[in-house]
Chains A and B, each alone.
Chain A
Amino acid sequence: MNKVKTALLAAAAVIGVSGQAAAADAKACWIYVGPIGDFGWSYQHHAGLLDVEKAFGDRVETAYLESVAEGADAERAIERFARSGCDIIFTTSFGYMEATNAVAERFPDVKFEHATGYRRDHPNVTTFNSKFYQGRYIQGQIAAKMSETGVAGYIASFPIPEVVRGINSFILGAQSVNPDFSLKVVWVNTWFDPGKEADAAKALVDQGVDILTQHTDSTAAMQVAEERGIKAFGQASDMQAFGVNTQLTSIIDDWGPYYVERVQAVLDGTWEQQDVWGGMIEGHVAMAPYRNMPYEVAATAKITERDIMIGRSEPFTGPITKQDGSEWLPAGQRAEIGELLSMDFYVQGVDDQLPQQ
């Protein structure tokens, strides 16, 4: 085996392949679950990579792999990065959790950053996520003020805590304005299928909702809303171009500041394991400009945004009643992180049954 390897390496030398070209101080690597062209989840992570390039220039070398399937392929891709001289590897999907921890065990000197997971089996694994639900609360408030029918439509992907949290936060925000506000939820069982998302959007509009929001990645629902003349919220990125007269605001996943901070820590030698759940305060969640709404609605939204930002307000603060009528949080009490992370129930006001309850 070694002879073969030597021969192959010699061949490589002859045809002029440079093994090490790195003059940079550090190498940062990303693994995406979708194509960077999804204009949603993976697109935004890639925008974070570009921020790192902008911030560090030649000091940091970057690399990425896109559309890496969760499962056996992920472990190989992560291991390849670990072996190719990456100092820090960002694995940006929940499904990479096992693979990230497995590779981290074998490469104790490489730093691993896993998005949206909860396992940190080794000291070189950090988990990070963003409190997108904070933005959903603001959206709920805006929806309740803008809606004439008092019903909003929610295009949901999969019933995982992340999505359920968003739905609950949205309805809580809406009920803070209009206690009778209700929400129709349609599960499309995909993160990304423009046609299906458009169909779901049309179905919701036909059923009388006049505000659309989505927890799927494409811009299709926004276009449907624009065509049908109702309002909608964007997802992951600013979708203004797809809904000029429609988009009220959008929750923007802004991973750039976090990535720059963590790469900086690697350069400084100060990187440490952590469990980050950053929200608006940390700059992980930003709202696209408030548009297509009266001044006073935008003003209220900005006040709520500021309150959340400075920690004065938090969406999941009691009194909150569960969908089944039982009390969840007494007045004034804030939800614990563990409860939020594993949320598998609706609060009152959601016109849907959570799958598998």
Chain B
Amino acid sequence: MTPEVIVSIIATVMTAATPLLIAATGELVVERAGVLNLGVEGMMVVGAVAGFAGAQLTGNAWGGVGLAIACGAAFSLLFGILALTLATNQVATGLSLTLLGLGVSGMVGEAFIGQPGVKMASVNIPGLSDLPIVGPLLFGQDPIFYISIALVVGVSWFLFKTRAGLQLRAIGNNHGSAHALGIRVITVRYLAVMFGGACAGLAGAQLSLVYTPQWTEDMTAGRGWIALALVVFASWRPGRVLIGAYLFGAVTIAQFHAQAFGVAIPSQLLSALPYVSTIVVLVLISANRRMTMQNTPAALGKTFVPDH
């Protein structure tokens, strides 16, 4: 295997991991605020169609990115109104959001079927991008990849180094006492939910602008669910989401290479590998009880109604 091939394989893993990473990071913030939004798949597919539409309408991939972020956030607002203002059950509301998202995106997207999309151009920094190996990997990726890394760093900094992040985590751990301390629980949660929606939207745009520049119905094909799983897998730490997303991407890609090499293992077994290995790693991590308990937002999924 030549260095170019290895670079190309790593780049494939990066592309596969990026949408998972973005959506999971967004959901991580939502869950840190104590809200469980299971509608990631729905928000992501809305982002995918919005990204495609925006790029077609403006003729520019960034137009798609902008529209996808806006639509993802706006769509998540529906969840917010129900689960936060009307205090409905979060699990049911999130699942319904996914159902709605798949329907809405299919309706809107009917016009775009069979059209090739606008592919987002990769970054090209003269000098750096031409370096062997590190050039294409670190300086020649698509812009959304860099956003995803910045997002992880930014969210990590926000959650653990800022006052607002501390407040958000406090709400997630005990909304009652946070409220008593004068933190505006519902407002912060709204912002967190919309941030999660924006991230899911961006992840969807990565699918329809970078990963596979096209629109087809249900093109997220379950990636929103994987993103949700990654948040738990990462025990609500942004850095571990990064590791988890890349591990998952690597195992997914590895199974195809194993097949192309002619490894005689049933393909269903190889396809199951990412899921089984996720469970195994999680068991290993969670056996260390202290580590997980510290990070789990205690108020996750519980409704909050302020007593006035």
| Chain A directly contacts chain B within the complex, with at least one CB pair under 8 Å | yes
A residues with CB within 8 A of B: 35, 37-39, 43, 153, 184-190, 192-200, 202-207, 218-220, 223, 227, 237, 241-242, 351-353, 355-356
* Residues in A neighbouring B214, C-beta threshold 8 A: 194, 218-220, 223, 242
* Residues in B neighbouring A153, C-beta threshold 8 A: 260
> Can you sample 19 A-B contacts with CB below 8 Å?
A39-B113, A39-B114, A43-B114, A184-B262, A192-B216, A194-B221, A195-B16, A195-B211, A202-B8, A202-B12, A203-B260, A207-B260, A223-B119, A223-B213, A241-B114, A242-B214, A351-B262, A353-B264, A355-B266
Scan B109-139; emit 1 where CB is below 8 A from any A CB, else 0: 1100111100100000000000000000000
Contact B268 A189 (CB under 8 A): yes
Q: Which residue of A lies closest to B11 (CB)?
A: A202
- The 9 residue pairs across chains A and B that have the minimum distance between CB atoms: A203-B256, A187-B267, A194-B212, A193-B221, A220-B212, A37-B113, A35-B217, A37-B217, A207-B260
Interface centre among A185, A205, A206, A355 (most CB of B within 10 A): A206
User: Which of A43, A185, A199, A351 interacts with B16 by CB under 8 Å?
Assistant: A199
The complex places the Cα of A253 from the Cα of B9 at a distance, in Å, of 34
Cβ distance B112 to chain A, nearest Cβ, rounded Å: 9
Asked if B55 is at the interface (CB within 8 A of a chain A CB), the reply is no
The complex places the Cα of A202 from the Cα of B262 at a distance, in Å, of 16
The complex places the Cα of A43 from the Cα of B110 at a distance, in Å, of 12
Asked if B101 is at the interface (CB within 8 A of a chain A CB), the reply is no
Contact A38 B260 (CB under 8 A): no
Contact A355 B260 (CB under 8 A): no
B residues with CB within 8 A of A: 5, 8-9, 12, 16, 106, 109-110, 113-116, 119, 207, 211-214, 216-219, 221, 223, 252-253, 256-257, 259-262, 264, 266-268, 271
The complex places the Cα of A351 from the Cα of B271 at a distance, in Å, of 19
User: Which of A197, A198, A200, A356 interacts with B266 by CB under 8 Å?
Assistant: A356
Evaluate whether A189 and B212 lie within 8 angstroms (CB atoms) in the complex, with A199-B12, A199-B16, A203-B12 already known. Answer: no
User: Which of B253, B264, B268 interacts with A199 by CB under 8 Å?
Assistant: B253
* Residues in B neighbouring A353, C-beta threshold 8 A: 262, 264
Evaluate whether A203 and B113 lie within 8 angstroms (CB atoms) in the complex, with A37-B106, A351-B262, A352-B259 already known. Answer: no
* Residues in A neighbouring B264, C-beta threshold 8 A: 353
User: Which of B12, B109, B116, B262 interacts with A37 by CB under 8 Å?
Assistant: B109
Evaluate whether A198 and B113 lie within 8 angstroms (CB atoms) in the complex, with A35-B217, A39-B216, A207-B257 already known. Answer: no
The complex places the Cα of A190 from the Cα of B212 at a distance, in Å, of 16
Contact A206 B8 (CB under 8 A): yes
Contact A206 B213 (CB under 8 A): no
Contact B115 A196 (CB under 8 A): no
Contact A196 B221 (CB under 8 A): yes
The complex places the Cα of A192 from the Cα of B152 at a distance, in Å, of 31
Cβ distance A42 to chain B, nearest Cβ, rounded Å: 10
* Residues in A neighbouring B261, C-beta threshold 8 A: 207
* Residues in A neighbouring B211, C-beta threshold 8 A: 194-195, 198
Contact B109 A187 (CB under 8 A): no
Contact A223 B212 (CB under 8 A): yes
Contact B221 A195 (CB under 8 A): yes
Cβ distance A77 to chain B, nearest Cβ, rounded Å: 18
* Residues in A neighbouring B260, C-beta threshold 8 A: 153, 184, 186, 203-204, 207
Q: Which residue of B lies closest to A155 (CB)?
A: B256
Name 16 extra pairs, CB < 8 A, besides A35-B106, A39-B216, A351-B262: A153-B260, A184-B260, A187-B259, A190-B221, A194-B211, A194-B216, A194-B219, A194-B221, A203-B259, A206-B5, A206-B8, A223-B212, A223-B213, A223-B214, A352-B262, A355-B266
